[in-house]
Amino acid sequence: MDVDSYLSTRGGLAPLRFREAVMMGLADDGGLLLPAAIPDVRPQLDAWRRLAYPELAVAVMRPFVGGALDDATFRALVARSYATFAHPEVTPVVTAGPVHILELFHGPTLAFKDVALQVLGNLFEQFLRESGETLTIVGATSGDTGSAAIHGVRGKAGIDIFIMHPQGRVSPLQERQMTTVLDANVHNLAITGTFDDGQRVLKELFNDLAFKRQYRLGAVNSVNWARVLAQVVYYFYGAFRVQERTGAAAIQVAVPTGNFGDIFAGYVAQRMGAPIRRLILATNENDILSRFFTTGEYGQGAVHPTLSPSMDIQVASNFERYLYYRVGEDPARVRELMAEFARTGRFQLPGADPLIVAGRGDTAMTLDAIRRYWREHHYLLDPHTAVGVAVAERLADAAVPTLCLATAHPAKFPDAIRQALGEDLARHPTLEALKSLPVRCVTLAPTCAALAAHIRATLAAKN
Ligand SMILES: *Cc1c(COP(=O)(O)O)cnc(C)c1O
C-alpha cells in the first residue's frame, strides 16, 4: 500500500505528496504534516528480521516515499546515507547488565540526529537536482542539531547552510564539530549574543517574506516528516535484535526526550505493528512531557540548564503530531488545544495512554546511572542516555525486555562524565582529531539586518 499522501494536523491543507511534504517542513497552516494512513506491516516482520540496516531502512520507508523516487534511486540514496556511519551494523545493540542499548551515535557527529539528517540532506539534494532549484538553510543552534545539519548537507549541490551559534557559549567540542567543516556551502556564524538572540534573529528573518522567497529559505528544525520517518527504522531494528537475544514476543523501549521527535518515531513504529509493547518516555528536569503523561496537563515551565542540554526544552515541537492521534485524528480539536496553549501556556486532557509511561530523571539520577553502569557493567552512558536508563530502571515492566536508546556518544559530554566519575574516561578518535583541524567561522552581531546582509553578500560572492 502506498501512503504517499500527507495531511496537516490542523486540517488546512490539500493532500501533499512525499516530495512536497519534505520540502515544506512545517505545514503552511502552522500544523505538522502526517501521512494520511499508516500501513500495517505485521505480515512483513518475519522477512524484515533478516535485513541489514540499509535494506530494512528501504523496506520501512518505501511505502511513505511513494512515487517521489524510483526504487533504484531510493535504494542508492539510503545506502549513501548510511555509508557515513562508522559501525557496520549502523545502529548496533549491546547488552549492559539488565538492559539492551541501541547505539544511535555512530554517525559523523556522534549523536542520533545523524540517522535522520544524513537521509534528509540526500533527499534535499535529490529533489533540488530534479527541480533545478536551490535552497538556503538557516538555523540557530545551541549544539547538537547544528552540527548534525551541517554534516547532513556539506558539499551538496544546490544547498547553502548558515548556522548561528552563540559565541563562546557552546561546548568547545560542539563548536569544532561545526567550524571545522570547510566545504564551500557551509557558513558558520558566531553571534555575539545568546542562543535566544539567535532564535529571535532567525524568526525575524523567516518573517521577511520577500527575503524568504528570494533566497528560498529552509529550516533545519526537527519537524520535517522525513526526520521522523528515518527514525522509525531503528525501532524495528532494535526490537528484532532484542527478540533474537531474549526470545520475547515484544519489548519496551526507553527514550530520552526533548522535542518528542525520537519518541514519536517509536509511536509510529508501534502503530505500524513493531513488536513494542510500550514506550518509556524520559525527561530531565525540563519535564513538560513527563508531567503530561502522568497528569494529563500540558503546561509550559521555565527552561533549566541540565547535564543533558539537548533535552532542555519546554515546548516540544513534535508533540502536536502525537496530539493529533490522541484526540482521534480530529484537526478541529488540535486547533482548539494549540490555540488554548498559545493563549494560556497550558491545556488538560482526560484519560491516559496505555502505550506510554513517563518519568523524570534529575541530575543526581543521571550521575548515579553513569557511575553504576560504568562500575558494574563497564559501559559508559552519555548524560542523555543516562536519563533514559534511570527512568527505565524505575518504570520498566520486569517481565518484558527493555531497550534503551543511546542518543549520543559519551565523549561529546566530557564535563558530565568527569562530574560522575572524577576523570575524563570518554574519548573518541573523531573528536580527538578535531583539535588539530583548521576552522572557519565569521563573527556577527545578533541582528536580523546583519544576518540578511551576510547571507546576501556570501551568496552573491559565490555566484
Ligand atoms: C536531540 C537530542 C535528544 C532529544 O531528542 P528529541 O527528538 O528532541 O526528543 C536526546 N539526546 C540527544 C543527544 C539529542 O541530541
| CATH code for the domain of 323 | 3.40.50.1100
List, as one string, the DSSP characters of 63-125. HHHGGGS-HHHHHHHHHHHHTT-SSTTSS-EEEETTEEEEE---STTSBTHHHHHHHHHHHHH
How far apart CA 362 and CA 284 sit, in angstroms, is 5
- Note whether residue 100 is domain-resident: yes
Residue 78 lies in a domain: no
Index of the ligand 1 atom closest to the CA of residue 408: 13
pLDDT at 262: 97
Ligand 1: which of 308, 311, 409 to mutate, most ligand atoms within 8 Å of CB?
311
Regarding the beta carbon of 412 and ligand 1, being less than 6 Å apart is answered no
Q: Which of 279, 322, 269, 321 is nearest to 59 (CA)?
A: 269
Residue with the smallest CA separation from ligand 1 atom 8 is 259
Nearest to 447 by CA among 231, 256, 240, 203: 203
**Pocket of ligand 1 contains residue 258 by CB under 6 Å:** yes
Distance 407 CA to ligand 1 centre (A): 7
- Cβ of 121 closer than 6 Å to ligand 1, yes or no, is no
Q: Would you give the DSSP letter of residue 412?
A: G
259 touches ligand 1 (CB under 6 Å):
yes
- Cβ neighbors of 118 (< 8 A, separation 6 or more) are 81, 82, 84, 85, 107, 108, 151, 152
Predicted confidence at residue 2, as pLDDT, reads 54
18 part of a folded domain? no
Which value, in Å, is the radius of gyration of the alpha carbons in the chain? 21
CA of 347 to the centre of ligand 1 (A): 24
SS3 330: coil
Q: Give the distance (Å) from ligand 1 centre to CA of residue 239.
A: 20
Structural domain that includes position 328: 93-110+226-429
> Would you give the DSSP letter of residue 177?
H
In this prediction the pTM is 0.96
Q: How far is CA 394 from CA 70, 200, 236, 300, in A?
A: 46, 39, 24, 25
Per-residue confidence (pLDDT) for residue 126, from 0 to 100: 97
Residue 113 in contact with ligand 1 by CB distance below 6 A: yes
| Whole-number pLDDT of residue 385 | 98
Distance (Å) from CA 261 to ligand 1 centroid: 8
40 falls within a domain: no
Tell me the pLDDT of the chain (463 aa) as tens digits.
Answer: 456 799 999 999 999 999 999 988 888 888 999 999 999 999 999 999 999 999 999 999 999 999 999 999 999 999 999 999 999 999 999 999 999 999 999 999 999 999 999 999 999 999 999 999 999 999 998 778 899 999 999 999 999 999 999 998 888 899 999 999 999 999 999 999 988 899 889 989 988 889 988 999 987 777 899 999 999 999 999 999 999 999 999 999 999 999 999 999 999 999 999 999 999 999 999 999 999 999 999 998 888 889 998 898 878 889 999 999 999 999 999 999 999 999 999 999 999 999 999 999 999 999 999 999 999 999 999 999 999 999 999 999 999 999 999 999 999 999 999 999 999 899 999 999 999 999 999 999 999 999 999 999 999 998 7
**Confidence at residue 3, expressed as pLDDT on a 0 to 100 scale:** 63
* Location of C-alpha cell 558530565: 416
For a pocket test of ligand 1, which of 235, 263, 384 has the largest count of ligand atoms closer than 8 A to its C-beta? 384
The count of structural domains within the chain is 1
144 within domain boundaries: no
| pLDDT (0 to 100) of residue 383 | 97
pLDDT at 302: 86
The Cα–Cα gap between 124 and 156 comes to: 9
Sign of the alpha-carbon torsion through 305, 384, 174, 195: negative
Q: What gap in Å lies between CA 380 and CA 371, rounded to an integer?
A: 8
Is beta strand 159-166 parallel, antiparallel or unpaired with respect to 135-140?
parallel
Q: Is 262 in the pocket of ligand 1 (CB under 6 A)?
A: yes
In DSSP terms, which residues pair with 348 in a beta bridge? 297
What is the C-alpha to C-alpha distance for residues 30 and 116, in angstroms, rounded to an integer?
A: 22
* Whether residue 446 has its Cβ less than 6 Å from ligand 1: no
Residue reference for cell 500495517: 40
In a domain, 376, yes or no: yes
> Candidates 109, 110, 141, 144: which one to mutate for ligand 1, based on the most atoms within 8 Å of Cβ?
144
Residue 145 lies in a domain: no
Q: How far is CA 351 from CA 177, 293, 294, 415, in A?
A: 44, 10, 10, 40
Specify the residue for cell string 501533499.
16
CA of 457 to the centre of ligand 1 (A): 34
Query: How far does the centroid of ligand 1 lie from the alpha carbon of residue 27, in Å?
Result: 22
Closest-CA residue, ligand 1 atom 14, reads 310
- CB of residue 279 inside a 6 A radius of ligand 1: no
Tell whether ligand 1 has an atom less than 6 A from the beta carbon of residue 284.
no
Are 388 and 112 in contact by the 8 Å Cβ rule? The answer is: no
Q: Which atom of ligand 1 is nearest to the CA of 260?
A: 9
Q: Which helix (H) or strand (E) holds 217?
A: strand 217-218
Q: Which helix (H) or strand (E) holds 27?
A: none
Q: Within a 10 A sphere around the Cβ of 432, how many other Cβ atoms?
A: 10
Q: In this structure, which amino acid lies at residue 5? A: S
Q: Separation of 214 CA from ligand 1 center, angstroms?
A: 32
257 Cα: distance to centroid of ligand 1 (angstroms): 6
Q: Is residue 337 part of a domain?
A: yes
Written as one letter, the residue type at 139 is G
Rounded to a whole number of angstroms, the distance between the first and last alpha carbons of the chain is: 44
Q: Which of 236, 241, 252, 262 is nearest to 395 (CA)?
A: 252
CB of 174 closer than 6 A to ligand 1?
Answer: no
Active site members: 113
Q: Measured between alpha carbons, how far is 17 from 27 in angstroms, rounded to an integer?
A: 13
